[in-house]
Amino acid sequence: MKFYREKGTGLILREDDALRLCGSTGLFNQYELVRGDDLTRAIIDDVIATHGPTDSYKYMLLDRLRCDCGYYLDGGGRNTKYLWGGSVRAHLDAMRALYNSFPEDGRPEWLTMDQINEYAAAMEREPTEQAESSPAVGTH
């Protein structure tokens, strides 16, 4: 799915909505394709807006993001190509936004905000510091 930003207002729209607004008037040049970290945030915001507070898709996506953190820190050699979010910052921002989108009593039992923050500390740490650190994240 593609997202576009209106150049004048900064409003981000799904491709189908941008096309509907432009119609056949050729106004599409008023929009630019959203890329990178902004695209990650647009997708997460769209998921949150279009899925219910405790929709199973959101749990599955959050678990995917969690698994990506583990692989990034271990077998993935800290390569951002293995992060759904595309960059460490965007990936962690997406995790936090998705986690916070659940109601307090509907948050997953298998992940806490403290664990997300532990992933953040480990992922934002320099690789040499990472090798010296002790316990693995999320093993509580």
- 97 and 79 together in one domain: yes
pLDDT of 62 strictly over 60: yes
User: In angstroms, rounded to a whole number, what is the distance separating the alpha carbons of residues 107 and 31?
Assistant: 36
Name the packing angle between helices 88-100 and 56-73 (round to 10°).
150
- 4 and 66 together in one domain: no
Asked if 61 contacts 45 with a C-beta cutoff of 8 angstroms, the reply is no
- 66 and 119 together in one domain: yes
pLDDT of 92 strictly over 90: yes
- 126 and 103 together in one domain: yes
Residue 19's pLDDT is what? 77
**Residue 138 falls within a domain, yes or no?**
no
The residue among 80 and 2 whose pLDDT is bigger is 80
Question: What is the count of structural domains for the chain?
Answer: 2
Work out the average pLDDT over 7-18. Answer: 85
Domain that residue 30 falls in: 1-34
- 22 and 90 together in one domain: no
- 49 and 23 together in one domain: no
User: In angstroms, rounded to a whole number, what is the distance separating the alpha carbons of residues 11 and 87?
Assistant: 23
Work out the average pLDDT over 9-26. Answer: 78
pLDDT of 45 strictly over 90: yes
- 78 and 11 together in one domain: no
